[in-house]
């Protein structure tokens, strides 16, 4: 007799309740070379559930980490001037507030191309970036940043503690939510953090995702969608405590969480305030998540209706920004080259390739003006201000931007 077991929460083991099914999806960052064999493309089932125990929102299926974070991982954090400024300010804040003792030491998980650590390096502060994607790590090394090419987990943390000593700060941006094996990560944090040290991390916030129907924040790499409530429970489970939270405008809405060892610091009032706001909104309640899923389905209908109408009217439509997020939208909605001719993107590693699953050609940003299309679908809606500021000629020539966050709209 065979039986299928429903997936259990990766944090606490309680049962998961699925609330959103985004269908068959590719690896969001696996851009195909034009001669690649499409039959070899990897797909998985993208569905999201919430834990009936600790409330953590997470994917129902886990993609093997080696498939996502490889030598040729194409995402380079320094591609956005807004994000460069954000990480310079972040580094300065950590230097001023946490790294003031004698010979301080900072470890960053997912340091990517060194966008944050370069400022720490320039300040002469001891640091180590940990990132499994060798290509982006090499870019960081070329800046003089120290990088270990590895997945952060318990074993890596123990090696770092033995070689470099304990860290005053462990920092991670847009990385912790990528790591299903948080039990190993937290045992590692316990090994590598100094007794009074802090773990600071920032990731897309479920509160913003639900509020803006930004379902494209859900893809293979984003295994968890955190809330203050689920993070507080996670921290407590592993002997830590949520001592501060800060909402951030970047990437469509994130929260920066600060964790310390339980009892080591007095939690800031912002923690209780955000927990109360989440309770008031019923953020972890099944009804709230089901209503979100209904809005997601509606968003797909609206976007397909708009793009189909524009095609039937003979308008030219291209997309702007071959974001990982856009893989979810293109594959869930079925947006192929018949609806969007190509995507322009400044990342050399994506250009000349096809987007995962939907197979939209990726062309350099210069292709946008050769000539300007009638409509441009903002796949990188989280960088809208920056992109619109550098493409004034598009609207001046009569072009229109299309967004789908918080709803499908021609701007
Ligand atoms: N921190 C940068 C930022 O915010 O722009 C990079 C974010 S990027 C979306 C995620 C990074 O996490 C990738 O460079 C990936 O290789 C790295 N990563 C994935 N799993 C990791 C792990 N277990 N330990 C450390 N880094 C990891
Ligand atoms: P992200 O939303 O994950 O940061 O990805 C942004 C993508 O959009 C990345 O592939 C770079 C691209 N991009 C442009 O092509 N032009 C731009 O001006 C910006 C800010 C991003
Ligand atoms: Zn749980």
Instruction: Check whether residue 302 and residue 353 sit in a common domain.
Output: yes
Our answer on whether the CB atom of 151 is closer than 6 Å to any ligand 1 atom is: yes
> Among candidates 182, 223, 180, 189, which has minimal Cα distance to 204?
223
What would the pLDDT profile of 205-254 be if each residue is shown by its tens digit? 999 999 999 999 999 999 999 999 999 999 999 999 999 999 999 999 99
Residue 146, token pair as written in the block:
């120290």
What would the pLDDT profile of 21-69 be if each residue is shown by its tens digit? 999 999 999 999 999 998 999 999 999 999 999 999 999 999 999 999 9
**The pLDDT of residue 284:** 87
pTM of the model: 0.96
CATH (domain of 256):
3.40.50.150
Our answer on whether the CB atom of 323 is closer than 6 Å to any ligand 2 atom is: yes
Q: How confident is the model at residue 4 (pLDDT cuts 50, 70, 90)?
A: low
Our answer on whether the CB atom of 173 is closer than 6 Å to any ligand 1 atom is: yes
pLDDT of 2 over the 70 cut: no
Q: Which ligand is nearest to the CA of 284?
A: 3
Instruction: Find out whether 380 and 83 touch, Cβ atoms under 8 Å.
Output: no
Instruction: Check whether residue 87 and residue 224 sit in a common domain.
Output: yes
Helix (H) / strand (E) element for 86: namely helix 81-97
Q: What's the 405 CA to ligand 1 centre distance in angstroms? A: 25
> Dihedral of the CA atoms 238, 242, 246, 251 (nearest 10)?
20
Q: Which ligand is nearest to the CA of 66?
A: 1
Q: Which of 28, 73, 110 to mutate for ligand 1's pocket (most ligand atoms within 8 Å of CB)?
A: 110
Our answer on whether the CB atom of 388 is closer than 6 Å to any ligand 2 atom is: no
Domain count along the chain: 2
pLDDT of 3 over the 50 cut: no
Instruction: Check whether residue 84 and residue 214 sit in a common domain.
Output: yes
Q: What's the 183 CA to ligand 3 centre distance in angstroms? A: 12
- Residues whose CB falls within 8 Å of the CB of residue 193, separated by 6 or more in sequence, listed in order: 166, 167, 170, 199, 261
Instruction: Check whether residue 97 and residue 241 sit in a common domain.
Output: yes
What would the pLDDT profile of 143-174 be if each residue is shown by its tens digit? 999 999 999 999 999 999 999 999 999 999 99
The SS3 of residue 350 is coil
- Asked if residue 323 is part of any domain, the answer here is yes
Counting every residue written for the chain, the total comes to 411
| Angle at 318 (CA atoms; ends 47, 408), nearest 5 degrees | 50
Q: How confident is the model at residue 192 (pLDDT cuts 50, 70, 90)?
A: very high
Helices 182-192, 154-164: axis angle to 10 degrees equals: 10
Instruction: Check whether residue 364 and residue 397 sit in a common domain.
Output: yes
pLDDT of 1 over the 60 cut: no
- Asked if residue 338 is part of any domain, the answer here is yes
- Asked if residue 10 is part of any domain, the answer here is no
CA distance 388 to 386: 6
- Asked if residue 14 is part of any domain, the answer here is no
**The pLDDT of residue 6:** 75
Instruction: Check whether residue 244 and residue 379 sit in a common domain.
Output: no
Instruction: Check whether residue 305 and residue 227 sit in a common domain.
Output: no
Our answer on whether the CB atom of 130 is closer than 6 Å to any ligand 1 atom is: yes
What would the pLDDT profile of 259-270 be if each residue is shown by its tens digit? 999 999 999 999
> Among candidates 118, 103, 240, 117, which has minimal Cα distance to 167?
103
With pLDDT > 70 as the criterion, what percentage of the chain qualifies?
99
Q: Domain range spanning residue 357?
A: 287-410
Our answer on whether the CB atom of 347 is closer than 6 Å to any ligand 2 atom is: yes
Our answer on whether the CB atom of 382 is closer than 6 Å to any ligand 2 atom is: yes
Instruction: Check whether residue 92 and residue 227 sit in a common domain.
Output: yes
Going through 101-239 in order, the beta strands assigned E by DSSP cover: 105-109, 126-130, 147-148, 167-173, 193-204, 224-225
What would the pLDDT profile of 243-259 be if each residue is shown by its tens digit? 999 999 999 999 999 99
């Amino acid at each position: 007799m065979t039986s299928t077991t429903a997936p259990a929460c990766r944090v606490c083991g309680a049962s998961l309740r699925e609330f959103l099914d985004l269908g068959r999806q590719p690896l969001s960052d696996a851009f195909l070379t034009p001669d690649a064999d499409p039959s070899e493309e990897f797909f998985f089932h993208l569905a999201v559930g919430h834990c009936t125990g600790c409330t953590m929102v997470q994917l129902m299926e886990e993609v093997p980490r080696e498939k996502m974070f490889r030598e040729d991982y194409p995402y380079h954090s320094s591609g956005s001037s807004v994000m460069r400024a954000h990480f310079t300010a972040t580094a300065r804040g950590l230097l001023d507030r946490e790294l003031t003792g004698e010979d301080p030491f900072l470890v960053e998980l997912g340091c990517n191309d060194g966008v944050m650590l370069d400022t720490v390096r320039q300040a002469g502060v001891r640091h180590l970036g940990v990132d499994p994607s060798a290509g982006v790590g090499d870019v960081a090394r070329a800046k003089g940043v120290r990088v270990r090419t590895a997945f952060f987990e318990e074993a890596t943390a123990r090696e770092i503690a033995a070689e470099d000593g304990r860290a005053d700060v462990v920092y991670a941006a847009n990385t912790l939510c990528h790591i299903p094996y948080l039990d190993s990560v937290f045992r590692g944090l316990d090994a590598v953090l100094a007794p009074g040290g802090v773990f600071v991390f920032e990731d897309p916030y479920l509160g913003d995702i639900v509020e803006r129907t930004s379902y494209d924040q859900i893809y293979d790499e984003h295994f968890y969608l955190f809330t203050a409530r689920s993070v507080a429970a996670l921290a407590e489970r592993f002997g830590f405590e949520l001592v501060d939270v800060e909402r951030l405008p970047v990437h469509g809405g994130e929260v920066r969480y600060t964790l310390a060892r339980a009892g080591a610091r007095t939690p800031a009032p912002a923690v209780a305030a955000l927990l109360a706001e989440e309770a008031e909104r019923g953020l972890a309640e099944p009804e709230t998540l089901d209503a979100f899923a209904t809005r997601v389905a509606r968003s797909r209908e609206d976007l397909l209706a708009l793009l189909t109408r524009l095609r039937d009217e003979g308008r030219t439509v291209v997309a702007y920004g071959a974001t990982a997020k856009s893989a979810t939208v293109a594959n869930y909605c079925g947006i192929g080259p018949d609806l969007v001719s190509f995507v322009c993107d400044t990342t050399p590693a994506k250009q000349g390739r096809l987007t995962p699953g939907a197979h939209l050609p990726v062309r350099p940003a210069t292709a946008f003006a050769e000539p300007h299309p009638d409509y441009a679908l903002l796949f990188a809606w989280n960088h809208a201000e920056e992109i619109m500021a550098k493409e004034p000629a598009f609207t001046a020539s009569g072009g229109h931007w299309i967004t789908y966050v918080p709803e499908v709209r021609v701007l």
